Amino acid sequence: ISSSTIESYTEKLKKNPFARAETEGEQAASTLIRYVNYVADHIPGSMAEIQRMRQEMFSIVNCDGLPHIFLTLNPSDTNNPVAQVL
C-alpha cells in the first residue's frame, strides 16, 4: 500500500461515503481503515468511539423506540468544584 493510494481512497470516500474499493490498492486501504477504526474504537474521545456510541444509541432507539422524556442533571455552580475554579 502506498500513501498516495490511501490518500486517493480517502478523498474518494469523502466525496461518496458509499464508494466501493475497485482496485487492489483501494481494497487494501479499505481493510487498513477498518483495522484502524477498530483499534481507535477503544480510545476515549476518538471519532471511532463517538461513532460506536452513536450506533449504540440508534440501535437502542430501534429496539425500544424513541424515549418519551429526557432528563438532564447538572450540579449547582456553588457546589461544583470545576465551576468554582473557572
In terms of Cα–Cα distance, which of 62, 37, 34, 30 is closest to 52?
A: 37
Return the residue matching grid coordinates 468511539: 49
CB 42 within 8 Å of CB 14: no
Rg (CA), the chain: 20
Over residues 2-16, the pLDDT tens digits come to: 888 888 888 888 888
Q: pTM higher than 0.75, yes or no?
A: no
Could you tell me the residue ranges of all domains in the chain? 3-85
Over residues 19-38, the pLDDT tens digits come to: 888 889 989 988 888 888 77
For residue 84, pLDDT over 80 is answered with no
CA distance 39 to 74: 33
